[in-house]
Amino acid sequence: MRMSSTLFLLGVLFLACSVTDVYSKKVLDVLKGSIAVLSPDVKEASIISVTWKHGADLAAEWFGGNPTFYRSFKGRCILSDKTGVLTINDVKLEDGGSYTPEINNNIQPAITLRVFSPVPKPNITHDCKPEQTQCTLTCMFEKTDDMGDVQIFWIVDDRREKGGGALEITKETKEKTFICGLNNSVSSENSNKLQNPLLTDDESGRTHIVGIVLGLLAVLSFCVGAAVFLILRHKMSSISDRAVPVAQGPILQLPVIPHGRVQTPPELRERRSSHGKENGMALGQNRLTDLL
């Protein structure tokens, strides 16, 4: 008897698990105003009919020809007769709910569509003690139900950290900037950056002084480089100016007479004649000397 009861319980559990697996729901989160694509698990080789129900009401159906849409789904939906996919444009909050497809008269697993509004841009407020030793940073925003679950996080000096709606800082906190962030399953927003209110003027001024010094060093390096360039350029110019030019005499052009002969200018003929006379007189004197 106990064995029969045990087998019966195992059979019931197996059946329950099988039903849960077949009709397990898929969840799709979309942003309000965006597009939702509902895809059924089609196992049929060819599709001859498609029906989609939103809850217990018909949303769309196709039995050949053009698909038919109902109620608020008219004019903003597309139904594929090839895949059975239902596409909803400009999704509204009221479009959320359970969608059950039926392909070729076979009911498919339902899809749960969840539509959320985007999270707003948050703002950081800070409340500090009079002695300026501790501050409480609070991430402020207006929460509405259509946002779903909203997570709050902090970005401290560009490093993301987990946290709640409030963040405590003290004089020992060396981080300089804080950002509060929000996100839900479909959107994310960050606040403006807040400077650490507990940093003293001396500590914050050091950063500015370092920046100024680095800027002055950069300008000084540029000026030195420009001065060296101008000095070298001046020296090269001076060396070029002191170079001795090559002397060039007048170019004597010889006239050309017919038959390719060169006509000797008169001044050259006179030079040659006087030079010949001088050579003849010198030769005669040499001969007279030899006779004596």
Do the beta carbons of residue 43 and residue 101 sit within 8 Å?
no
**Do 197 and 146 fall within a single domain?**
yes
The boundaries of the domain holding residue 141 are 123-201
Give residue 231's pLDDT.
Answer: 84
Give residue 199's pLDDT.
Answer: 86
Q: Is residue 135 part of a domain?
A: yes
- Name residues of the chain where pLDDT drops below 50: 1-23, 203-208, 244, 246-247, 252, 254, 259-260, 288, 291-292
How many domains does one find in the chain? 2
Give residue 9's pLDDT.
Answer: 41
What is the Cα–Cα distance from 25 to 226, expressed in whole angstroms?
Answer: 73
Domain boundary among 98, 116, 134: 116
Q: Pairing mode, if any, of strands 26-31 and 111-116?
A: parallel
User: Model-level pTM?
Assistant: 0.59
**Do 67 and 131 fall within a single domain?**
no
Q: Is residue 290 part of a domain?
A: no
pLDDT digits (tens, 9 = 90+) for 216-259: 777 777 878 777 778 887 777 776 666 545 445 555 454 555 54
What is the Cα–Cα distance from 155 to 174, expressed in whole angstroms?
Answer: 14
Neighbouring C-alpha atoms within 13 Å toward the C-beta of 138: 8
Give residue 161's pLDDT.
Answer: 87
Q: Is residue 274 part of a domain?
A: no
Q: Is residue 41 part of a domain?
A: yes
**Do 156 and 94 fall within a single domain?**
no
Give residue 4's pLDDT.
Answer: 44
Do the beta carbons of residue 67 and residue 79 sit within 8 Å?
yes
Tokens of 54: 């939103």
Q: Pairing mode, if any, of strands 134-140 and 123-128?
A: antiparallel
Here the CATH number for the domain that contains residue 153 is 2.60.40.10
Domain boundary among 181, 201, 221: 201
**Do 108 and 137 fall within a single domain?**
no
Residue 84 gets the label, from left (phi > 0), alpha (psi -120 to 50) or beta, of: left
Give me the residues paired with residue 161 across strands.
154
Give residue 31's pLDDT.
Answer: 98
Domain boundary among 116, 137, 156: 116
